[in-house]
Amino acid sequence: MQINQEKTEKKSDRHGNPHNRIKLVNILRGAVFPLAVIAVWELAARSSLVNTYILPPPSEILKTFLHMLATGVWEEHLLASLRRLVYGFFLTIVFAVPMGILVGKARGFRHWVNPTLHFLQQIPPIAWIPIFMLLLGIDEASKVAVIVYASFFPVFLNTVQGVTSVDPKLIEVGHAYMLSPWKMVKKVYIPSAAMSIFVGLRLGLSNCWRALVGAELLGASSGIGYLIIEGRQLAQSDKIFVAMFTIGAAGMLIDFFLRKIENKLMPWKKMYQAGERK
Amino acid sequence: MNKGLVEVRDVGKVFHSNWGSIEALKEVNFRCNQSEFVSIVGASGCGKTTLLRIIAGLEPPSDGEVLIDGENIDGPGYGRAVVFQEPRLFPWLTVEKNTTLGIQGVEKQDEVKKIVASSLQLVGLTQFSKAYPYELSGGMAQRVSLARALTFKPKVFLMDEPFSALDAQTRARMQEEIIDLWQKTGKTVILVTHDIEEALTVSQKIMIMSPSPGTIKEVLEVPFAYPRNPDGLEFINMRKTILEAIR
């Protein structure tokens, strides 16, 4: 019965008042600094302390944003960026995770690929953009390639790391109970590496997002990065700020959802991390 | 066909490391009849765990051979279920799923469920089937690992100090349960322990190992009926004998 009590306690902890209040207070704490900056900025702009041509007041930026939202321009560019992100990130997952598992399991294979990977890892994705454009054209393919490049390493390396650090005692249990190689991967390696893989996915996704904006800055006719270039060319700094806020907010949201998925998929995670491993 | 005859013949084991070689086992010979409950006792470092791991097939012997029902073993196999010193449950699986891991070659889902349910009932954990390992106490976790071993349908249970990490009360209860399980299933059990009283409480035969290199020094039959009385004079005398033999 002890366990049932523990469970209900945890539930009330999660959904009950005290916990939620703490959560809310923390959200408010986190909002203090940005709100203060926005307030100072607004005041400075209104009292003509700064050149509003370069630094428009936040209220003006909000107005531009609402206008872009109403005309559908904002959604169009955001969707263009997100689509590239989804394609690229999907490709990364399809290649980097299985490769990471393979390399992590076949220990000898590491020596063949590690130097190359560590070399390639040093070259920022942005530096590849001209080459990708020459090779793949100026269309979507080159942008997707940049995204894959940007996210491949964190996902791959964290997967390898996760697979190589699987508890050998659990592997032994798998052997003792005659698990098939496939079951071994499914029941031992993947769940055990999942936390590390997710760290890689989150890192990879934020790398993606940054590289994508870079790629769009250098050559695109749509996307959030393109909005910035357009704003620069037309000297519309409000547009640039809308784009910048969008980048930050979208990145945060994506990470938030990835973390939600992570918690959903790994209910044991919290306790596991707390060292209650048995 | 409930066999489970274990024969260990001239088994030796040498470990090599950077600083030299160690002879962990030398010329170990014994025979464990089917449905027999045998304990291996000895001071720590005498090679008893190594011996069990060799019988389990988790470690190859450097010398000699191990036969299960007359067949030479080569790696882990279906006839033997290992219960480790730690429960070694998979943290990402519920009690039910952890138990399911032992099941081999059963395709039908309701069949699988039935086996798991009966195993969990045998170890008294039916109501915890949906719990995760982190929600269990040490004794419960070890019972899940027993249930996992049960679903594996082995001929021989190999237990490596399975109760050493438990508190005294839980350990005593687990010992009763293991006797009960053994009597119900009629499987062969080989239990490694450093606890002489435990060996006297649960087993029919006690093998005493001496260290460096590890070898079997003496085999004693335990003549008492179950349940055993640890305060009985004969029990106490036998404990003394074993204690002296280990020294």
Closest CA to B114 of B141, B82, B150, B157: B150
Check residue A39 and give its pLDDT: 92
Place of tokens 């882990």: B76
* pLDDT tens per residue across span B26-38: 888 888 888 889 9
* pLDDT tens per residue across span A232-266: 888 889 999 999 999 999 989 988 998 888 888 88
Place of tokens 């590890």: B214
Of B57, B134, B137, the CB nearest to A268: B134
Provide the b/e sequence for B187-225 (b: ≥16 CB within 10 Å): bbbbbbbbbbbbbbbbbbbbbbbbbebbbbeeebebeee
Closest CA to A74 of A207, A196, A249, A211: A249
* pLDDT tens per residue across span A36-94: 999 999 998 888 888 888 889 999 999 999 999 999 999 999 999 999 999 999 999 99
Query: Helix (H, G, I), strand (E, B), or coil: what is residue A20?
Result: helix
Place of tokens 């393109």: A226
* pLDDT tens per residue across span B50-90: 888 998 888 988 888 888 887 888 888 778 889 998 889 89
- What mean pLDDT comes out for the span A118-147? 88
Amino acid at B231: D
Q: How many helical (H) and strand (E) elements, i.e. helices and strands, does chain B have?
A: 7, 10
B-chain CB neighbours of A194 within 8 Å are: 92
Shortest Cα distance from A273 to chain B (angstroms)? 11
Between helices A224-233 and A73-105, what is the axis angle to 10°?
130
Please state, rounded to an integer, the average pLDDT across all residues of chain A: 85
d(CA B214, CA B52): 12
- What mean pLDDT comes out for the span B4-24? 82
A-chain CB neighbours of B137 within 8 Å are: 2
B-chain CB neighbours of A272 within 8 Å are: 91-92, 134
Neighbouring C-alpha atoms within 13 Å toward the C-beta of A213: 19
B-chain CB neighbours of A169 within 8 Å are: 84, 86, 88
* pLDDT tens per residue across span B89-124: 898 888 988 998 888 877 788 888 888 888 888 888
A170: contact with B, CB 8 A cutoff: yes
Of A3, A6, A177, the CB nearest to B102: A177
Check residue A32 and give its pLDDT: 92
Of B101, B134, B141, the CB nearest to A177: B101
Closest CA to B40 of B154, B161, B145, B156: B161
Q: Is B91 close to A194, i.e. CB distance below 8 A?
A: no
Nearest-by-CA chain B residue for A1: B127
